[in-house]
Amino acid sequence: MKLNSIFIILMLFVSILYVNTDISRALKEINISTPDLARSSTDIVVAKCIASEARQDSQSGLVFTYTTFSIDESLKGKYGEELVLRTVGGTVGNKTVSSPFLPGFELNEEVVLFLGPRNSEGYPVLQSINKGVYRVDADVNGTKVISTPVNGLILINSGTNQRIKGNDKLSLDDFIYSINQTL
């Protein structure tokens, strides 16, 4: 066999291993349950988006969006009054970088963030790209509810300490109580 053929076969094998590793990691993240996500997160906060700005990094040239949140409550870990989440993407001048996998945030939007360790620049990162953000909305009565699907969490009513069954819209208070029971 020629050296070129051996090289091509080797590269094909390495590519298959790389793709399988990425697919395996992605499937594991898609299938992670809410309790597992809570346990593996270093920090969990209830927060409100108060500012967002895209900037281009002077050293790498990458575009990042810096989203500032005011912290309403820390469920796990300790945060001060605010945190800044840095995600890849955004628009600076005529340069736009986007990804369908990274979450975006609206001004004044309330969320529950499941965070992992800080990155090398000191910014907190989402514990899961797909499931690290739980959106908070208001129902018709004005009650704050979690609009993101909750997976595998035993749901408990925060007032009665009774299990909740078949509830499409979980109140934020019950979600927080259920997460705290998991931790």
Asked if 69 and 83 count as a contact pair (C-beta separation under 8 A), the reply is yes
Which pLDDT belongs to residue 163?
82
Asked if 43 and 124 count as a contact pair (C-beta separation under 8 A), the reply is yes
> What are the structure tokens assigned to 32, written together?
């992670």
Which pLDDT belongs to residue 166?
63
Task: Name the nearest CA neighbour of 67 among 44, 80, 48.
Answer: 48
Residue 56 in domain: yes
* Structural domain harbouring 119: 34-182
Domain of 63: which CATH number? 2.40.50
Contacts (Cβ under 8 Å, ≥6 apart) of 166? none
Residue 66 in domain: yes
Asked if 143 and 117 count as a contact pair (C-beta separation under 8 A), the reply is no
Residue 157 in domain: yes
Which pLDDT belongs to residue 99?
75
Residue 137 in domain: yes
Going residue by residue through the chain (183 aa), what tens digit of pLDDT does each one get? 554 445 444 444 434 444 443 344 444 455 688 899 999 999 999 999 999 999 988 888 889 999 999 999 999 998 889 999 999 888 888 888 887 777 889 999 999 999 999 998 899 999 988 789 999 999 889 999 998 888 788 778 888 888 877 666 789 999 899 999 988
> What are the structure tokens assigned to 86, written together?
């840095």
> What are the structure tokens assigned to 112, written together?
């529950």
Residue 84 in domain: yes
Residue 80 in domain: yes
Residue 106 in domain: yes
65-88-179-106 Cα dihedral, nearest 10 degrees: 40
Residue 14 in domain: no
Task: Name the nearest CA neighbour of 113 among 74, 167, 87.
Answer: 74
Contacts (Cβ under 8 Å, ≥6 apart) of 136? 46, 109, 110, 111, 112, 144, 145, 146, 147, 172
Which pLDDT belongs to residue 51?
97
Domain count across the chain: 1
Q: What are the distances in angstroms from CA 124 to CA 26, 34, 160? A: 20, 19, 35
